[in-house]
Amino acid sequence: MYNFLQGRMVAVRLCLLGAALILIGIGIATIYSVGHPAEESPAGQTERLAVFWKKQVVFAVLGGFVFVIVNSINYRWWGTVSYWLLAGVLALLALLLVSKFVVTLPFAKPINDSYRWISFTVAGRTLPSLQPSEFCKVAYIMALAWYLRYRSNYRNFKALIGPFALALLPMVLILPEPDLGTVMLMMPILFIMLFVAGAKVRHLLLIILMAILVSPLLWYKMEIYQRARISSVLLQNAWIREKAEQHPAVGNILVGTEFSARQWKNDWGLHLIRSKYAIASGGTNSGTGYGFRRGPFTKYGFLPERHNDFIFAVIAHQWGFWGCLGLLSLYVIIVSCGLEIAVNNTDPFGKLLAVGIVAMFVVEVLINVGMTVGLMPITGLTLPLVSYGGSSLLVSMASVGLLNNIGRSRPFSVAPKA
Amino acid sequence: MYEKRIRIFVVFSLLLLAVCVLRLAQMQLLSASSVQNEIAELKRRRGQSAQFKTIRGRILDRNGRVLATDQARFWVHIDYELSCFLDERVRRGMLLRASERADPEVVKAEVNEKIREKVDEDLRQIIDKCAQFRAVEPDVISREIQSINEEVWNKRIIQAWRKQFPNSKVREYYESIKRSVPISKARADFEQKLPDPNERLMLVSKVDIIEMHQSSPLLELKTDDDIFAAQLEFMDTNGIHISSKEQRFYPYGSVAAQTIGWVGPAMRKSDKEFFAEEKLATYLDGDVCGRRPGVEYVCEAILRGRRGEEATDIDGQLTSDIDTQPGKDVKLTLDIELQGDMEDYLFRYPHDPNLGEPGISAVVIDVVSSEILALVSLPVYDLNRVRYDYGALISDPNRPLINRAIKEQYPPGSVVKPLILIAGLEDGLITPEEAIDCLPEPAPVGWPNCMIFRANSAAGHTLRWNNDARNAVKGSCNIYFSRLADRVEPLALQQWLFEFGYGQHALAPPYSIAEVDGAELRRNFRQSPGEISSSIVGRALRFEEMPPLNPGERKYFGIGQGSLRVTPLQVANTMATIARGGVFKLPRLFGDPQSSAGVDLGISPETLAIVHDGMSAVVSEPGGTAFKPFEPFLTLFAAAGVKVYGKTGSTERPFHASFAGFAADSDGRKIAVAVVVEGGQSGSRDAAPLARDIIQLCINSEYIGESYFDDQAF
């Protein structure tokens, strides 16, 4: 349990762990700052946020334990149980669906009309709720890596049915919760893992082509608010908004109903507009931001979910452009270390697992940052290690733990290099 | 395999990361980016709350007397929460609501007690005190409180009706024409859809609107003593408080009302467009703007002023500190004392009882500077009350809101004859010596008869004197001038009239002062150009665009009838032009440092001498049409060194009496005068005495001649 640092590639793994810990620290500090702004804020704007940093500290400590536990057993063992882990998570997801569609279960009550959380009440105290879809990500990556460790499982087109089934099953279960973000995350991870594992490019392209052909159908099946979120990337542009308002057909394609710029500004586009304002106003002081616990978006509750999905905007607001660069470079360190570990591991499972985890970080960070700056649709994806959220933090720490685990172990199947 | 593909993945990820970083840099570091602009705009908008009020400039007369200024006025205000108890419907509503409670009898008794207390004690006291202050019967105050209640109650009805029937046809209709629903329509629709009065009362009682928590002005406190007394009287009275309000104040009340104009809340879209571009001048709620058609409106750009601003950004940081720029004063050429004396005199003058209260218009122009000294239009109205009386004023059949001196078009009648004579002499169509016979016989069919013949069928001008040019003016001979006008080419006749200012806007545009102050004036007075064609145009045109004059109509133009229409200001200005020796200038209402030299019409001195001679004979020779009213005053005028030249005018369709002329003194000072009495039968009887006394007033005000009062002092 104490020997998780022993093994190969100590420097790389220390960098990895250090960067992860710094990111968690930044996250806790930022969550603290929005609950305790330097200037008194109007009543009701920060009180709710005031305790979150403490919870996050607890989760960080728990995350440390998870890190250690993950490292206490060789990662290959985790591979052998990966199908079971996935099955367990899928069962939890199925329970949520039961709660949504059949009968509301006492431990799976909706929050904001979303059935994403499972929470147990023990002796009158509500334990922190868990988000199975978060755990699903890592279980899915492990199962996928375990499955793809045999070359025959992806070299011909028919064999790809397996991995896709592995991806589609959780996606189908998660989508109705609804949790568009996690679903959007899984496809890129699958593609990256298939690609790195060596699947034929033409097969992947064929699948992408099929997806593009099917997408209009999916588009029309989407809810209005989901469509509006995705088309908001286009609708930021005043010219497009104008056109969408003038031509009902355009508006109908973009949001599935009559488009009103006014409504967009007050409803669908609100998060995006506020997030952009928060980030852009952080350009003050020649790009170094307002400073810790300062700035209007820290003081006032203009930006919804600023401790969570939009924490990047708050960081950009407080620390400016250079602060953002620092934050992103920490992720670059994690990704570089992860890839270094992947490259140095000769075991296909270890390699694929490492790549899958790295891909997860890359996609999450890019989507989260992209959505706050208006380059990506707003999906409820968190910024790994930084955003508030127990499940997310535990999963991220488990992922970092797995990378550490892969990095330090010497696969038995390979002779040490001379 | 792995390494190569990982490298591709890395490159791909880095590309995406670079895009994100570039986007961040663009948003945060590029101050010209659209998001940064939006933020700046947001910050600025928040700062607007720290703006101060504008201070409107004053309007002054030529001697610096204040005609309009902002003044703090104190009012006793009454809260609706108190005044509503006087409303019987409100009381019934309270009882009705009480009866819906769990223990209706107890609550009803409580409500009844409260009503008794408020109505019988509090309100009774307040009403009595206010009545004492204003020295009126308590009923008057009660009625005023009721009208406050009525206004709020109507708003409550509308609110209740809208809430109950959000999709009514009436509402849809008025929304489609972008008007608010009139209370009568809303009420009718409400009653039709919900016939039970108790149900309606219940709904209205439940309405809660902001007006129900506000107070309304009840009693104006004019002096410091009043304010002090009111403070003492109402010191402990709940529901009553005294507060001040900046208000436009017109010290001269009704004098020159149409010219000065008034201010009202800037609510209309056309008002708000005026300063829409200028942040510190845009109209906010409660701001006032000049209302058409007076100086307040025309000079809005000068008078308005700019708000001061202490702009703080979203964090409370002071970003800019701009001092309030008071609006600039506007100085008019009017002499408000003279104008007031004239209005007073004209209003009191014992008119022919058949006329009733005639609309009268009178203009006095200083000939040398072409400045308008007085621009009278009767009846007038009180500028300090116009906002309250507007409804009555606009429906008044005497049309007090019209500035008759520049807006109303009259047939000039015989006052046009000097111009016809100038046209005939200058175009060589008649010589001063040539006489045209005016015999006691009817004129040919289609030609006007002479007035002298119509009064007495045995009379004709030729029987009295040699009917040559100067005598024709003196006797105002219709035969002479209709024949003469018929000789002038139609186009030439129009040209002469146009050059004298008929058919064009007479008042000099106010742009000249605007340039001085760097503000752009896009507004002008509402004035009529008159008509000098056979067909009605209704707007000012360039001469080339004028419709032609029907040759057959020239004979009527010769006596100022037909379709010829002019404004009193135009008439006065033709007289000023004649007095100036044929130099045309636009009359001005605003001081102009670069007084224009005017346009010399090129009239020969001989012609002018004949015209002057004739016009002088009108007032100072026996047989002149205005000799009778002027005769007793000629010695007085002569003592002051003033010589009067004039021309009477009477028209029949419609009936108007007019007099136009000018007076000159030995120092070369001259004033031009025009008077029009609506409904007047005879220029010599109904208008000439007024002009005579106006000249007298001008002498008293030392615009011309030497005042007799000075003489008497010695």
Flag whether A248 is in a domain: no
More confident residue, A390 or A301: A390
Q: What are the chain A neighbours of B6 within 8 Å (beta carbons)?
A: 196, 339, 342-343, 355
Of residues A287, A355, A366, nearest to B17 (C-beta): A366
- Tell whether A375 is within 8 A of chain B (Cβ): yes
* pLDDT tens sequence across B592-630: 656 677 888 889 999 999 999 999 999 999 989 999 999
Closest chain A residue by Cα to residue B40: A281
Instruction: Give mean pLDDT, residues A43-48.
Output: 65
Instruction: Give mean pLDDT, residues B162-174.
Output: 84
Is B526 a residue whose pLDDT tops 80?
Answer: yes
Which residue type does B166 have?
P
Rounded to an integer, what distance in angstroms lies between the CA atom of residue B635 and that of residue B637? 5
- Measure in Å the smallest separation between the Cα of A339 and chain B Cα atoms: 8
Q: Write down the pLDDT at residue A411.
A: 60
Domain count, chain A: 1
* pLDDT tens sequence across B64-122: 899 998 877 777 888 888 888 888 888 888 888 888 888 888 888 888 888 888 888 88
Of residues A276, A362, A369, nearest to B35 (C-beta): A276
Query: Is residue B707 very low, low, confident or very high in pLDDT (cuts 50, 70, 90)?
Result: low
Q: Write down the pLDDT at residue B713.
A: 40
Strands B309-312 and B656-665: unpaired
Determine which of A201, A362, A365, A368 to mutate to test the interface with B (most B C-beta atoms within 10 Å). A362
Question: B478 and B448 in contact (C-beta within 8 Å)?
Answer: yes
Q: Write down the pLDDT at residue B319.
A: 66
- Measure in Å the smallest separation between the Cα of A284 and chain B Cα atoms: 8
- Tell whether B5 is within 8 A of chain A (Cβ): yes
- Phi, psi angles (nearest 5°) of residue B74: -100, 140
Instruction: Give mean pLDDT, residues B394-405.
Output: 88
Structural domains in chain B, CATH included, are: 75-250 (no CATH), 336-390+399-700 (3.40.710.10)
- Measure in Å the smallest separation between the Cα of A282 and chain B Cα atoms: 6
Q: What are the chain A neighbours of B36 within 8 Å (beta carbons)?
A: 280, 283
- Tell whether A321 is within 8 A of chain B (Cβ): yes
Q: Write down the pLDDT at residue B513.
A: 53
Flag whether A185 is in a domain: no
Q: Write down the pLDDT at residue B234.
A: 75
Q: Write down the pLDDT at residue B644.
A: 93
- Tell whether A302 is within 8 A of chain B (Cβ): no
- Structure tokens, B448: 């006007």
Q: Write down the pLDDT at residue B714.
A: 39
Helix A311-344 / helix B2-29 crossing angle, nearest 10 deg = 160
Length reported for chain A: 418
Is A353 a residue whose pLDDT tops 90?
Answer: yes
Flag whether A251 is in a domain: no
Question: A49 and A307 in contact (C-beta within 8 Å)?
Answer: yes
Is B39 within 8 Å of A325 when comparing Cβ atoms?
A: no
Residues 6+ positions from A62 with CB-CB distance below 8 Å: A390, A393, A394
- Tell whether B22 is within 8 A of chain A (Cβ): no
- Tell whether A315 is within 8 A of chain B (Cβ): no
Torsional sign, CA A176, A181, A182, A186: positive
Question: B69 and B249 in contact (C-beta within 8 Å)?
Answer: yes
pTM of this prediction? Answer: 0.56
Is A260 a residue whose pLDDT tops 90?
Answer: no
- Tell whether B33 is within 8 A of chain A (Cβ): yes
Flag whether A310 is in a domain: yes
Rounded to an integer, what distance in angstroms lies between the CA atom of residue B687 and that of residue B476? 15
Rounded to an integer, what distance in angstroms lies between the CA atom of residue A206 and that of residue A200? 10
Q: What are the chain A neighbours of B16 within 8 Å (beta carbons)?
A: 366, 370
Instruction: Enter the ipTM.
Output: 0.91
Flag whether A308 is in a domain: yes
Interface of B with A in 297-336 (CB under 8 A): 314-315
Query: Is residue B315 very low, low, confident or very high in pLDDT (cuts 50, 70, 90)?
Result: low
Domain that holds residue A290: 269-410
Flag whether A375 is in a domain: yes
Of residues B2, B10, B23, nearest to A373 (C-beta): B23
Is A399 a residue whose pLDDT tops 50?
Answer: yes
CA atoms within 13 A on the CB side of B459: 11
- In this complex, how many residue pairs, one in chain A and one in chain B, have their CB atoms less than 8 Å apart? 85
* pLDDT tens sequence across B486-525: 999 999 999 999 999 999 888 887 755 555 455 566 678 8
- Structure tokens, A347: 């075991």
Which residue type does B66 have?
V
Is B454 a residue whose pLDDT tops 90?
Answer: no
- Measure in Å the smallest separation between the Cα of B2 and chain A Cα atoms: 6
Q: Write down the pLDDT at residue A155.
A: 78
Q: CA distances (Å), B365 to each of A13, B335, B338, B456, B598, in order?
A: 99, 11, 12, 37, 15
- Give the bridge partners for A125, in sequence order: A122
Is A19 a residue whose pLDDT tops 90?
Answer: yes
Flag whether A345 is in a domain: yes
More confident residue, B621 or A256: B621
Instruction: Give mean pLDDT, residues A340-362.
Output: 91
Rounded to an integer, what distance in angstroms lies between the CA atom of residue A35 and that of residue B673? 80
Flag whether A64 is in a domain: no
Which residue type does B142 have?
S
* pLDDT tens sequence across A57-73: 999 999 999 999 998 88
- Tell whether B2 is within 8 A of chain A (Cβ): yes
Rounded to an integer, what distance in angstroms lies between the CA atom of residue B144 and that of residue B131? 11
Percent of chain B past pLDDT 70, that is, above it, reads 92
Rounded to an integer, what distance in angstroms lies between the CA atom of residue B611 and that of residue B603? 11
Instruction: Give mean pLDDT, residues B337-366.
Output: 86
- Average pLDDT over chain B, rounded to whole? 85
- Stated as kind and residue range, the H or E segment containing A190 is helix A180-197
Give the burial string for A209-228 (b: 16+ CB within 10 Å, else e): eeeeeeeeeeeeeeeeebbb
Q: CA distances (Å), B653 to each of B410, B650, B679, in order?
A: 10, 10, 10
Q: What is the dihedral of CA B108, B112, B117, B121, to 10 degrees?
A: 170
Question: B572 and B673 in contact (C-beta within 8 Å)?
Answer: yes
| Measured distance between the N- and C-terminal CA atoms of chain A, rounded to whole angstroms | 30
Q: What are the chain B neighbours of A283 within 8 Å (beta carbons)?
A: 27-29, 31, 36
